[in-house]
């Protein structure tokens, strides 16, 4: 029995007919949904899931808590459990998160929660702008706090790589580019921003490398900052 089948069985034991939907999402979702082996092998990230339920009580959560270790052992992350009425009202509050799930998910049980519920482009654009402006402010503040220390600047750039990759994937999704990986989303951003320096690709690559020298940081940062300023302007003016 697959890990998702075990999860469905356990959730039905808790919620019964109140379990409306169970979806898996993320990079490993399709493989895990098709696998009969529910053990967790290798360094892969756990598969993320979302359950939509008719109602949710503290007792339900405590029942799930008693089963969570076996779900983790099966290679699953702790499921996101959302009451149906909250799901409908949260799409505009967490548009990037729900758009990511909608773009790459497998229905494991029940109905597809996104068959009638749509994440609006306007909400995604606004969230992308918030994320982009926050990223830019963080870089500016970090440069000041680094105080001219190249090693501190290197840490700032490396630590910003994952948030940047997530932002670029969201921007690509806003434009209907589907579920791109970080590298492809980075190249897409360089094209739409007319950047020829490759600085976006350099920073995105740090999600895998995790370290640069002080000299590289001093070389990368000016172009990185300018690219983020351009990205903020682009997202601010974006129209479908």
| pLDDT tens, position by position, 16-43 | 999 999 999 986 555 555 555 544 444 4
Residue with tokens 């900052």: 225
pLDDT range class, residue 139, cuts 50, 70, 90 = very high
SS3 116: coil
3: which strand partners? none
Q: What is the pLDDT of residues 159-194, one digit of tens each?
A: 999 999 999 999 999 988 877 889 999 999 999 999
Mean pLDDT across the chain: 91
The 8 Å CB, 24+ separation contacts for 138-146 are: 139/221, 139/224, 139/225, 139/228, 140/225, 143/221, 143/225
DSSP state of 179: S
CB burial of residue 212 (10 Å; 0-12, 13-18, 19+): buried
pLDDT of 90: 95
Chain Cα centroid distance, residue 34 = 22
Q: What confidence score (pLDDT) does residue 156 get?
A: 98
* Whole-angstrom distance, CA of residue 67 vs CA of residue 50: 16
Q: Is 218 exposed, middle or buried (0-12, 13-18, 19+ CB in 10 A)?
A: middle
Q: How many helices (H) and strands (E) are present in the chain, helices listed first?
A: 12, 4
- Once rounded to an integer, what is the mean pLDDT over residues 85-106? 93
């Amino acid at each position: 029995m697959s890990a998702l089948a075990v999860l469905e069985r356990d959730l039905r034991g808790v919620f019964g007919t109140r379990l409306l939907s169970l979806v898996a999402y993320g990079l490993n979702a399709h493989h895990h949904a098709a696998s009969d082996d529910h053990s967790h092998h290798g360094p892969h990230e756990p598969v993320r899931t979302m359950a939509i339920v008719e109602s949710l009580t503290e007792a339900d959560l405590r029942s799930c808590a008693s089963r969570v270790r076996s779900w983790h052992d099966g290679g699953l992350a702790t499921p996101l459990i959302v009451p149906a009425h909250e799901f409908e009202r949260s799409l505009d509050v967490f548009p990037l998160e729900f758009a990511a799930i909608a773009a790459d998910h497998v229905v494991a049980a029940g109905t597809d929660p996104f068959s009638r519920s749509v994440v609006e482009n306007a909400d995604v654009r606004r969230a992308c702008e918030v994320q982009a402006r926050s990223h830019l402010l963080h870089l500016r503040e970090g440069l000041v706090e680094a105080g001219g220390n190249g090693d501190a600047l290197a840490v700032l750039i490396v630590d910003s790589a994952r948030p940047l990759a997530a932002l670029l994937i969201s921007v690509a999704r806003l434009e209907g580019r589907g579920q791109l990986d970080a590298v492809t989303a980075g190249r897409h951003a360089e094209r739409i921003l007319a950047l020829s320096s490759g600085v976006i690709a350099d920073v995105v690559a740090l999600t895998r490398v995790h370290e640069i020298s002080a000299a590289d940081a001093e070389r990368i940062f000016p172009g990185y900052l300018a690219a983020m300023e351009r990205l903020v302007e682009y997202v601010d003016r974006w129209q479908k």
